[in-house]
Chain A
Amino acid sequence: MSFIDLSKNEVQCKIVYYGPGRGGKTTNLLYLHQAMTDSVRGKMVTIDTKGDRTLFFDFLPLALGQIQGLSIKIQLYTVPGQVMYNATRKLVLKGVDGIVFVADSLKVQKEKNVESLDNLRQNLAEDNIDIKEIPLVLQYNKRDLGGSNIPILSVEKMQEDLNRELQVPWFSGSALKGDGVFETLREISKGTVKYVSRKLLSR
C-alpha cells in the first residue's frame, strides 16, 4: 500500500519484481543499484541468500524526484522465484502497488514463465487484487543470449504465452548488460504513480 505524507508532500510506493527462479529479478536490482547515483538510491539489502538464489527478498529504495509537487519514493523488492517459496512471495507482495514480471527467454523456461504468472495472478487474487487492475510491466529478459547456441523463445512467442490476454506494456531486455532495465523501471514507476494518485482521487 502506498503512503502519502502530506507534511512532506511525499508519496511512497512498493514495486515488486516477480517471475520464475533464475529469471533475472535480482540482476535487475543489482544493475539499477550500480548504475544509479547515491542521490537517487539508498542502500540495497539482500537477505537470506544461499549462493545467488533469493530466499527471502532483495530491497532497493529509490528517490525518483518530483511529480506535480510530490516527491516520489519507490521501494523495489524482488521475490524468491523458486516454486517452493510461495509463502515468502505472498509476504513480499503484501501492500504491492506495481509489479514487474521478469520472464526468462530461455526456451527451457517456457512453462515456468506461464506457471509463475499464474501464481502471481492467484496470489494477488487472494489479496483481492485483480491482476488486470494493478500496474504490471513484462520484461523479456536475457535477450543477449539470442544468437548464442542456447535456444531462446522469440518475443512473439513470449507475447503469445504471457501477454495475449493482459495486453500490458512490455520490454525486451538484458538485466546482465542493463538493456531495458531503466525502460522497465520508468514504465512501471509511471504506471504506479498514476494508479496510486487515481486511487487517492477516488477516495
Chain B
Amino acid sequence: MDLVLSKESIDNIISVLDEDLLRAGADCVLLVDRSGNLIVNRGDPANLDVVALAALSAANFGATAEIAKLIGEDDFALLFHKGKNENIHFTKVGKGFILITLFGKDVSLGLIRLNTARVTDTLVPILGGEQ
C-alpha cells in the first residue's frame, strides 16, 4: 500500500501539472494521497499551508465519500468550492489520490474541468502500479 515515486515519475507529474493547469491559469496545484500525504505541489502558494491543505482535503474527500454512500452513490468524482476571489477544485485520481486545483475568478471552471480530466488520465498510469 505504500507509494514510492522515482525522480522520473515526480518530474513527469510536475510537467503535466505545469503544462495543463498552471499554464491554463491555475494559481496552485497539489497532488495528495487519500491518507493525506502531499505528493507534489506546484504554483505559487505564498502564505498557503500546503501540508495542512493536503491533510484537510483528504479528510474532506473521505467525509464526502461517506455522504455519497449514505445517498446510494459510490463516491463523488469531483468537488468544487467557490470563494469570492479564489476557487478550489478537487478531482479523484484513480482510487488513491486527489488532485487539488486553486484558481482565481478570471479562470473559467470549464477550462479547469477539462484540463483536470486530461491530467487525471495522464496521472493514473504513473501512479497506477502503486495503488
Contact = CB atoms under 8 A, between A and B. Distances in A.
Given A7-B7, A94-B34, 6 more contacts: A4-B2, A4-B4, A6-B5, A14-B36, A77-B36, A77-B55
A61 interface: yes
B15 interface: no
B2 A200 contact: yes
B37 A75 contact: yes
Given A4-B4, A6-B7, A47 B36 contact: no
Contact of B2 (A3, A47, A59): A3
A199 B81 CA distance: 38
A196 interface: yes
Interface in B29-57: 33-39, 49, 51-52, 55-56
B75 to A, nearest CB: 13
Contacts of A14: 35-37
A7 B7 CA distance: 4
B10 interface: yes
Interface residues of B, number: 27
Interface of A: 1-7, 12, 14, 42-43, 45, 47, 56-57, 59, 61, 75, 77, 87-88, 91-92, 94-96, 196, 199-200, 203
B1 interface: yes
B5 A1 contact: no
B38 A6 contact: no
